Amino acid sequence: MANNLLAGKKGIIFGALDEKSIAWKVALRAREEGAEFTLTNAPVAMRLGQIKDLAAACNAQVIAADATQEADLENLFRQSMEILGGGIDFVLHAVGMSPNVRKKRPYTDLNYQFYNQTIDVSAMSLHKLLQTAYKLDALNEWGSVVALSYIAAQRTFPDYNDMADAKAMLESIARTFGYYYGTTKKVRINTISQSPTITTAGTGVKGFDRFFDYADKMSPLGNATAQACADYCVTLFSDLTRYVTMQNLFHDGGFSSMGMNPAVMEKPEP
Ligand SMILES: NC(=O)c1ccc[n+]([C@@H]2O[C@H](COP(=O)([O-])OP(=O)(O)OC[C@H]3O[C@@H](n4cnc5c(N)ncnc54)[C@H](O)[C@@H]3O)[C@@H](O)[C@H]2O)c1
């Protein structure tokens, strides 16, 4: 159901790798609501992924950018403003990667070079993106930036490994930059703390399948899907949420408020 919530808005969407990606669903949903945007991903991901198909479906141009490289980000913002014909109204940061998770290093035996990469790609990239936009004055007044987080930022989920630390930092950057960008330009910055979702990044976490089922049972509404996350992102990009900023917003079917759910205690029949 489209309501033209994003008519006339111009954006940049990071992180669409394939059709399972949360960013992929956000792009299709934002287009449905009338937005125009550019799509971006790391050059290597663009070779592996199917972003060109998405670009065709959204009538969007693709600009390669490694989210850890300031020069790439500057080029991305400059080119996007040129292509879209003006300032940017919304940005989705859907970027995450941990070499420690990929290489199955346990939290008690991290490789610190990998750890730095985890933080750089999954957290500091949000700061780099915001600082680049700030210096270029690329975001319009009442613009909206959304980054995707996970509850391991607040509570311990051992298998989430060093990504938990990256998400804690990501949420902090959203709050602190939210102060500066809010004060100077009325730009709002929030994180959405999403349910476990079946994507390339999600399923890379050890024990994902069993945990997905556990979270689904624990949440009164069940796990929020990527499609539902796209709906939520659209509301945050729209003018209907102009005073929501510096928040970590749980989009998790109620998981974060649960202590115990009898549904997860049930034993199978003997
Ligand atoms: N899937 C889940 O269970 C879940 C839950 C909560 C939050 N999230 C977060 O949602 C976001 C999107 O992930 P997803 O689940 O859609 O998986 P995904 O694997 O489809 O997306 C992750 C994206 O990050 C991109 N990326 C990695 N390194 C990059 C770099 N250096 N520069 C630019 N882009 C880079 C990848 O190419 C990919 O497109 C991530 O921040 C993830 O942590 C996912």
Domain boundaries, the chain: 10-250
Nearest to residue 39, comparing CAs of 187, 1, 112, 21? 21
Residue 228 main-chain phi, psi, to 5 deg: -65, -35
Atom of ligand 1 nearest to the CA of 122: 41
Pocket test for ligand 1, best of 12, 13, 14, 17 (most atoms within 8 A of CB): 17
Do the beta carbons of residue 122 and residue 61 sit within 8 Å? Answer: no
CA distance 179 to 162: 27
Give residue 269's pLDDT: 66
Ligand 1 neighbourhood includes 194 CB (under 6 angstroms): yes
pLDDT digits (tens, 9 = 90+) for 153-184: 999 999 999 999 999 999 999 999 999 999 99
Give residue 1's pLDDT: 74
Burial of 105: CB neighbours in 10 Å, binned 0-12, 13-18, 19+: middle
Q: Whose alpha carbon is nearest atom 20 of ligand 1?
A: 21
Do the beta carbons of residue 68 and residue 40 sit within 8 Å? Answer: no
Nearest to residue 67, comparing CAs of 100, 83, 91? 91
CATH assignment of 10-250, among 3.40.50.720, 3.40.50.300, 3.40.50.1010, 1.10.3720.10? 3.40.50.720
21 Cα–ligand 1 center, Å: 7
User: In sequence order, which residues have a C-beta less than 8 Å from that of residue 241 and are 6 or more positions away?
Assistant: 144, 188, 235
Atom of ligand 1 nearest to the CA of 20: 20
Nearest to residue 181, comparing CAs of 94, 88, 250? 88
Q: Terminal CA-to-CA distance of the chain, rounded, Å?
A: 46
Nearest to residue 50, comparing CAs of 19, 71, 27? 19
Pocket test for ligand 1, best of 22, 72, 116, 149 (most atoms within 8 A of CB): 22
Category of 154 on φ-ψ map: left (φ > 0), alpha (ψ -120 to 50) or beta: alpha
At position 125, the amino acid (one-letter code) is S
Do the beta carbons of residue 2 and residue 78 sit within 8 Å? Answer: no
- As beta bridge partners, residue 248 has 191
* pLDDT one digit per residue (tens) for the chain, 270 residues: 789 999 999 999 999 999 999 999 999 999 999 999 999 999 988 877 699 999 999 999 999 999 999 999 999 999 999 999 999 999 999 999 999 999 999 999 999 999 999 999 999 999 999 999 999 999 999 999 999 999 999 999 999 999 999 999 999 999 999 999 999 999 999 999 999 999 988 888 888 999 999 999 999 999 999 999 999 999 999 999 999 999 999 999 999 999 999 999 877 666
User: In sequence order, which residues have a C-beta less than 8 Å from that of residue 158 and are 6 or more positions away?
Assistant: 107
Give residue 157's pLDDT: 94
User: In sequence order, which residues have a C-beta less than 8 Å from that of residue 122 and are 6 or more positions away?
Assistant: 95, 96, 97, 98, 163, 166, 167, 170
Atom of ligand 1 nearest to the CA of 208: 3
Give residue 64's pLDDT: 97
Give residue 268's pLDDT: 66
